[in-house]
Amino acid sequence: MSAAHRIVVVGSVVLDTIHTPHGSAEECVGGSASYAALAASYHAPVHLVGIVGSDFPTEARELYAAHGIDVEGLEVVEGETFRWGGRYHADMNRRDTLFTHLNVFEHFHPKLPESYRDAEVVFLANIHPSLQMEVLDQVRNPRFVALDTMNLWIDIARDDLAAVLQKVDLLFLNDEEARQLSGETNLVAAVRALRAMGPKAVVVKKGEHGAVLFGHASTPYVQSTVLLDQVVDPTGAGDAFAGGFLGHVARVGNTEDVTLRAAMVHGTVLASYTTERFGIDRLAEIRESDISERSDVLRMLTAWPGH
Amino acid sequence: MSAAHRIVVVGSVVLDTIHTPHGSAEECVGGSASYAALAASYHAPVHLVGIVGSDFPTEARELYAAHGIDVEGLEVVEGETFRWGGRYHADMNRRDTLFTHLNVFEHFHPKLPESYRDAEVVFLANIHPSLQMEVLDQVRNPRFVALDTMNLWIDIARDDLAAVLQKVDLLFLNDEEARQLSGETNLVAAVRALRAMGPKAVVVKKGEHGAVLFGHASTPYVQSTVLLDQVVDPTGAGDAFAGGFLGHVARVGNTEDVTLRAAMVHGTVLASYTTERFGIDRLAEIRESDISERSDVLRMLTAWPGH
């Protein structure tokens, strides 16, 4: 790979209604593809693939465009956009889903515009694994394919997930999902089993506890989160993490271990900003200097003390 | 403080019966004081304070002595030693207590031999806070006092705990306990509240997710655990962490932030060895080279990649 690669992001675009201990927000733009695409846009050219209804706000479309995100692949059909509602507990690691209205998303089949099909990096954000496979059937020769998934697909679409995993270079999932999909309780053993399913690299996301990269090197890489004194809304943090990670990979243009490790930093930085306000509000407005400032915070938080 | 300080460790000495997914062990020597004293002994001279019954195995006493641990303060009384039994779940972050027989521990009041009272470092391992206070009434002029506690004392002896916390330099507790004791769900806010209760420094232990030091510097320090591919028995890991941490502080002989940060590494190293076998078996036999080897593993796991 050489520098300045393009990244295709496929996932859900949703209008979220979110309640957290710090307040509520109605119908804010979200979904795995929104968070991932915005985060990636700080590092590389992004092509978005998704579906919305005729009620999708023009301002949101303009927001993507303002971030240089190509929305030719964001299909608009008659009807209502996917809507989701959730309420976080006082312990914000836990949330309850209040409603899920798939609406136009129910019959979504991703269609990649011709100009997308030669993208070097592909991110299959969290949607049904059979839709993720449909995307891979449309790209020509991607150099790096990453996939995110969730407990629901492990439960109800395990075979579809296993099929698409065979074609994936990197798998993102959280620690609970890693244990569920592998059947192993020990994390190292779980990742060994996951790699046997296809992906050469695995990133285990652990929410407020950070993330672990099992990359090409023999030693994994452990990344702390930033310790924020207020998390307003954790929604989309995992998607922004993946977007920031893959944006960095696309920008650098290779998948060497040192690149993947630095990508862990960039994913963490973008995820941390995402949680500072509801929805995409904070993620959409950060600047280059914000990214380097928070990278420095992370570096100091974990600076090896010697012994 | 100058080099080579002595450390007094006060806590429980227990015969544990432990069941984990990897097997079982009957009546192995444990308790907060055993784990902490053995871990600290790799770095500094340790004086142990505790109580056992007449049934306490001679070999265990000899094991302490072989580690240079002064056991003059380990009181032996007629009757049976404290016994505890527990069973870990497949998810070893969870365990059920099967039985707790306090036996001779029920009427324990720590008595510090004269030679202990000038020790520079004091570790009040996890016992009732009123007993921890009795220890502080007997030491003359400690330079550094650290305390560990648990959810039980926060529930049933909060006032006693608050009183002793006012006399403590450093508090060890896990993330759940930090939230419970402070009433704050955000970790940074929780630690701010805990510091207002007395301790200038707080170490939040997060089990397999590592630990965070809120020390004197404005930036906290986040320490990852070693990623072991098999944890045989997590019992005592938190106590060994505290012992290794404080042993390092005693050895270096100061409490500067860089010392506390390096202590996080040493605590993590000793805790990780502890979990490799049942009880104190592995902790009791490690060598200097094991410690430096595992420190190197930790350093590589978290080596900042640049960006």
Q: Taking residues A59-75, what's their average pLDDT? A: 97
Q: Which of B179, B222, B228 sits opposite A188 (nearest CB)?
A: B228
Predicted pLDDT at B306: 62
Is the full-model pTM beyond 0.80?
A: yes
Contact yes or no for A49/A268 (Cβ under 8 A):
no
Q: Which of A222, A232, A298 is most worth mutating to test chain B (most B CB atoms within 10 A of its CB)?
A: A222
With cut-offs at 50, 70 and 90, classify the pLDDT of residue B216: confident
Q: Which residues of B touch A221 (CB under 8 A)?
A: 301-303, 305
Q: Which residues 30-69 of B have a C-beta within 8 angstroms of A?
A: none
Closest-CA residue to B82 (of B69, B100, B64, B63)? B100
- Interface residue B289 vs chain A (CB under 8 A): no
Closest-CA residue to B169 (of B212, B219, B215)? B215
With cut-offs at 50, 70 and 90, classify the pLDDT of residue B1: very low
3-class secondary-structure state, position A236: coil
Q: Which residues of A touch B307 (CB under 8 A)?
A: 248, 262, 265-266, 295
Q: Taking residues A33-40, what's their average pLDDT? A: 98
3-class secondary-structure state, position B10: strand
pLDDT tens column, A98-156: 999 999 999 999 999 999 999 999 999 999 999 999 999 999 999 999 999 999 999 99
- Interface residue B228 vs chain A (CB under 8 A): yes
Whole-angstrom distance, CA of residue B122 vs CA of residue B199: 14
**Beta carbons within 8 Å of A143's beta carbon, 6+ residues apart:** A1, A5, A120, A121, A255
pLDDT tens column, A152-170: 999 999 999 999 999 999 9
**B192 to chain A, minimum CA–CA distance in Å?**
10
Query: Residue B205 forms beta bridges with which residues?
Result: B174, B211
Q: Taking CB atoms and an 8 Å limit, are A304 and B300 in contact across chains?
A: no
- Interface residue A265 vs chain B (CB under 8 A): yes
Q: Which of A187, A248, A307 sits opposite B262 (nearest CB)?
A: A307
Chain B CA closest to residue A297: B219
Q: Taking CB atoms and an 8 Å limit, are A295 and B304 in contact across chains?
A: no
- Interface residue A209 vs chain B (CB under 8 A): yes
- Interface residue B301 vs chain A (CB under 8 A): yes
**B223 to chain A, minimum CA–CA distance in Å?**
7
Predicted pLDDT at A27: 97
Chain A CA closest to residue B265: A307
Predicted pLDDT at A60: 96
Q: Which residues of A touch B185 (CB under 8 A)?
A: 21, 90-92
CA B140 to chain centre: 22
Q: Taking residues B257-279, what's their average pLDDT? A: 97
- Interface residue A196 vs chain B (CB under 8 A): no
**Beta carbons within 8 Å of B268's beta carbon, 6+ residues apart:** B210, B211, B223, B224, B225, B226, B241, B244, B298
Predicted pLDDT at B307: 47
Q: Taking residues B17-38, what's their average pLDDT? A: 97
With cut-offs at 50, 70 and 90, classify the pLDDT of residue A1: very low
Q: Taking CB atoms and an 8 Å limit, are A230 and B264 in contact across chains?
A: no
Closest-CA residue to A7 (of A167, A198, A143)? A143
Cβ neighbours around B21 below 10 Å, total: 16
Instruction: Indicate the average pLDDT of chain B.
Output: 96
- Interface residue A185 vs chain B (CB under 8 A): yes
**B87 to chain A, minimum CA–CA distance in Å?**
16
- Interface residue B216 vs chain A (CB under 8 A): no
Domains parsed from chain A with CATH numbers:
7-302 (3.40.1190.20)
Pairs of residues, one from chain A and one from chain B, whose beta carbons lie less than 8 Å apart: 107
**A143 to chain B, minimum CA–CA distance in Å?**
21
Q: Taking CB atoms and an 8 Å limit, are B219 and A302 in contact across chains?
A: no
- Interface residue A147 vs chain B (CB under 8 A): no
- Interface residue A288 vs chain B (CB under 8 A): no
**A97 to chain B, minimum CA–CA distance in Å?**
21
| Residue where the block lists tokens 């006493």 | B61
Q: Taking CB atoms and an 8 Å limit, are A21 and B212 in contact across chains?
A: no
Query: E strands, chain B, where?
Result: 7-10, 14-20, 23-30, 46-53, 70-77, 83-88, 95-101, 121-124, 144-148, 170-174, 201-205, 211-214, 221-223
Whole-angstrom distance, CA of residue A1 vs CA of residue A3: 7
Predicted pLDDT at B3: 55
Q: Which residues of A touch B305 (CB under 8 A)?
A: 221, 258, 261-262, 264-265
Q: Which residues of A touch B262 (CB under 8 A)?
A: 305-307
Q: Which of B92, B206, B219 sits opposite A209 (nearest CB)?
A: B206
Predicted pLDDT at A56: 98
pLDDT tens column, B139-192: 999 999 999 999 999 999 999 999 999 999 999 999 999 999 999 999 999 999
- Interface residue B224 vs chain A (CB under 8 A): yes
- Interface residue B206 vs chain A (CB under 8 A): yes
Burial B38-62, CB ≥16 within 10 A → b, else e: bbbbbbbbbbbbbbbbeebeeebbe
Whole-angstrom distance, CA of residue B119 vs CA of residue B47: 9
Q: Is the pLDDT of residue B4 over 80?
A: no
| CA distance readout (Å), B277 to A186, B233, B305 | 15, 6, 33
With cut-offs at 50, 70 and 90, classify the pLDDT of residue A66: very high
Predicted pLDDT at A91: 86
Closest-CA residue to A196 (of A214, A175, A221, A212)? A214
Q: Which residues of A touch B256 (CB under 8 A)?
A: none
- Interface residue A183 vs chain B (CB under 8 A): no
Structure tokens at B301: 């796991």
Q: Taking CB atoms and an 8 Å limit, are A227 and B187 in contact across chains?
A: yes
Q: What percent of chain B has pLDDT over 70?
A: 98
Cβ neighbours around B120 below 10 Å, total: 20
